[in-house]
A = this chain, B = another copy of it.
Amino acid sequence: VKKTKVVVVGGGFAGLAATMKLAKDERVEVTLVDKNNYHTFQPLLYQVATTGLEPGEVCPTLRAIFREKDNVNVLMGEMEGLEAENSSVVVDGEKLEYDYLMLAIGGRTTYFGNESWRAAVPGLKGLQDALEIRTRFLNALEQAETETDEKRKRELLTVAIVGGGPTGVELAGALAELKNHVLQEQYSGFCLEDIRIVLIEALPRLLPPMPEGLGNYTKETLEEMGVEVILEEPVSELEERRLVTEEREIRAETIVWAAGIEGRPLVQKFCQYTTKKGTVEVLSDLRMPPHPNVFCAGDMVHLKDEDGDPLPGLAPVAQQQGSCVADNILALIEGENTKSFHYFDKGSMAVIGRSRAVANVFSKISLKGPLAWLAWLFVHLLSLLGFRNRAVVLVRWFWSYMGWRHSARVLNPAYLPE
B37 touches A138 (CB 8 A): yes
Contact of A411 with B146 at beta-carbon distance under 8 Å, contacts A54-B56, A63-B187 already known: no
B395 touches A407 (CB 8 A): no
B186 touches A64 (CB 8 A): yes
A64 touches B392 (CB 8 A): no
CA distance A68 to B186 in the complex (A): 8
B392 touches A94 (CB 8 A): no
Q: Would you call A387 an interface residue if the criterion is a C-beta within 8 Å of the partner chain's C-beta atoms?
A: yes
Give A68's nearest chain B residue, CB to CB: B185
A60 touches B407 (CB 8 A): yes
Contact of A396 with B407 at beta-carbon distance under 8 Å, contacts A76-B142, A142-B76 already known: no
Chain B residues, Cβ within 8 Å of A60: 407, 409
Give A37's nearest chain B residue, CB to CB: B411
Q: Would you call A365 an interface residue if the criterion is a C-beta within 8 Å of the partner chain's C-beta atoms?
A: no
Q: Would you call A348 an interface residue if the criterion is a C-beta within 8 Å of the partner chain's C-beta atoms?
A: no
Q: Is the interface of A mostly helix, strand, loop or mixed?
A: mixed
Which of B138, B145, B146, B407 lies in contact with A389, CB distance below 8 A? B407
Q: Would you call A363 an interface residue if the criterion is a C-beta within 8 Å of the partner chain's C-beta atoms?
A: no
B64 touches A127 (CB 8 A): no
Which of B146, B188, B391 lies in contact with A395, CB distance below 8 A? B391
Give A389's nearest chain B residue, CB to CB: B407
CA distance A77 to B146 in the complex (A): 10
Contact string, A387-406, partner B, CB cutoff 8 A, digits 1/0?
11101100110111001010
Copies in the complex: 2
Give A148's nearest chain B residue, CB to CB: B94
Chain B residues, Cβ within 8 Å of A403: 388
Contact of A146 with B75 at beta-carbon distance under 8 Å, contacts A67-B186, A388-B396, A407-B386 already known: yes
Interface residues of A in 22-61 (CB under 8 A from B): 36-38, 51, 54-57, 59-61
Among A128, A146, A400, find the residue whose CB has the most chain B CB atoms closer than 10 A.
A146
Which of B66, B75, B145, B388 lies in contact with A407, CB distance below 8 A? B388
Q: Would you call A113 an interface residue if the criterion is a C-beta within 8 Å of the partner chain's C-beta atoms?
A: no
CA distance A76 to B37 in the complex (A): 33
CA distance A37 to B37 in the complex (A): 29
Shortest CB distance A33–B (Å): 11
Shortest CB distance A312–B (Å): 27
Among A131, A187, A411, find the residue whose CB has the most chain B CB atoms closer than 10 A.
A411
Chain B residues, Cβ within 8 Å of A389: 407
Q: Would you call A414 an interface residue if the criterion is a C-beta within 8 Å of the partner chain's C-beta atoms?
A: yes
CA distance A67 to B60 in the complex (A): 32
Q: Would you call A119 an interface residue if the criterion is a C-beta within 8 Å of the partner chain's C-beta atoms?
A: no
Which of B36, B187, B407, B409 lies in contact with A392, CB distance below 8 A? B407
Give A55's nearest chain B residue, CB to CB: B410
Chain B residues, Cβ within 8 Å of A92: 146
Chain A interfacial positions (CB closer than 8 Å to B): 36-38, 51, 54-57, 59-61, 63-64, 66-68, 70, 73-77, 92, 94, 127-128, 131, 138, 142, 145-146, 183-188, 386-389, 391-392, 395-396, 398-400, 403, 405, 407-415
Using A64-B407, A64-B409, A386-B405 as known contacts, list a sample of 15 further A-B pairs with CB atoms less than 8 Å apart, ordered by residue number in A. A37-B409, A51-B56, A56-B409, A56-B410, A57-B407, A61-B411, A63-B183, A67-B185, A386-B407, A388-B395, A388-B403, A391-B398, A392-B395, A412-B414, A414-B415
7 nearest A-B residue pairs (beta carbon): A54-B54, A63-B186, A388-B399, A56-B408, A414-B414, A37-B411, A55-B410
Q: List 12 A-B contacts (CB under 8 A).
A: A36-B411, A56-B407, A60-B409, A61-B409, A66-B186, A76-B411, A94-B146, A128-B414, A387-B399, A387-B405, A388-B407, A414-B414
